[in-house]
Amino acid sequence: MPLVVVRSSPLLWVRLAALIFSCVAFSVAVHGAGLHSRTADWCIFCWSFSFAGTLLVLLVELFGLQTRAPVSWKNFPITFACYASLLCLSASVIFPLYFLKGYPRGRREYDFRVVSTVFSCLATVAYVSEVSISKARPGEVSGYMATAPGLLKVCETFVACIIFVFISEPISYDQHPALQWCLAVYCICFILSAAIIVLCVGECTGCLPFPFARFLSAYALLAVLMYLSATIIWPIFKFDKNHGGTTYRPAQCGSQPGFCAFDKLVAVAVLTALNFILYLADLIYSARLVFVTV
């Protein structure tokens, strides 16, 4: 029988809080919020995935199974917490935008949706607190994913996933080869960043035929240059009339729930610039990385 080890700590309490808040968020939404759409399914997935992952982390640590886990336990919990915080944050923004805006107050479903929104926000705060507690401090020996560049990799892949959603529904990258280049930038950088995360969590960085730290710096520089080009190209070919773009927001967008097609184009431009900033910060941190273990 494995020994159950319960050690009270701020990290344990924020994980328990995140577990409870995410559980309440998706339970209430499923029970009585009256949701029937793919957007609702996404929000419920965000909360349930976060709940399941946190439960797994708690069980592994309570039973002392870290050494038997097939992943690096220095990297996995904080990587998951960072993804969970971003997932719950996205649900906290999307859910009220689609399911509270314009919905008549006083109805039973409205009250359930408000409760889900509140607990989604609380879960986001709990996961952000977990990341803040778990991240490496200067001079500490820690896993790569607990450092600033590791956490930035998580944010970069998440932002890229949101970009993929916005540019694929409706498809907005097939009008010009320059826009297809932007899609290539998003795909290449996402694949490489995701591969780095997998290598770190799986403790496979030593299998590479070249120094991992140099690869990180070289990749960050490449990603900065690629995203800089996409940050310039996307607005030119989407919002400049001389290149077939649209300069104004259609009037019907104000009456639609959520994001209309024009709003998604603007969101892609903003998220592209955001990822450029994240990769630039990643480059700066990667060049100065002084942590002992990766």
At 210-219, the pLDDT tens digits run: 788 888 888 9
What's residue 290's pLDDT? Answer: 45
Domain shared by 225 and 172, yes or no? yes
In 202-291, which residue ranges form alpha helices assigned H by DSSP?
Answer: 212-239, 261-287
Q: Are residues 85 and 108 in the same domain?
A: yes
Other CB atoms within 10 Å distance of the CB of residue 244: 10
Of the spans 47-51, 204-208, 258-262, which averages the highest pLDDT? Answer: 47-51
How many of the other CB atoms lie within 10 Å of CB of 171?
9
Sign of torsion over alpha carbons 226, 232, 235, 238:
negative
User: 3-state DSSP call for residue 253?
Assistant: helix
Q: Do 110 and 36 fall into the same domain?
A: yes
Q: What is the 3-state secondary structure (H, E, C) of 106-153?
A: CCHHHHHHHHHHHHHHHHHHHHHHHHHHHCCCCCCCCCHHHCHHHHHH
- Do both 100 and 46 map to the same domain? yes
Same domain, 19 and 107: yes
The residue among 100, 116, 142 that closes a domain is 142
- The length of the chain, given as a count of residues: 294
Query: Which of 103, 122, 142 is a domain's end point?
Result: 142
The sign of the dihedral angle between the CA atoms of 124, 125, 126, 130 is positive
94 and 152 together in one domain: no
Expressed as residue numbers, the domain containing 130 is: 1-142
State the chain's mean pLDDT as an integer.
85
Same domain for 7 and 100 = yes
> Do 66 and 36 reside in the same domain of the chain?
yes
277 band by pLDDT with thresholds 50, 70 and 90: very high
Same domain, 135 and 153: no
122/151 same-domain check: no
**CATH number of the domain encompassing residue 52:** 1.20.120
Could you tell me if 37 and 75 lie in one domain? yes
**286 compared with 1, residue with greater pLDDT:** 286
Note whether 182 and 286 are same-domain residues.
yes
**Final residue belonging to a domain, choices 97, 117, 142:** 142
Q: What is the mean pLDDT of residues 196-224?
A: 86
Please give the tally of structural domains in the chain: 2
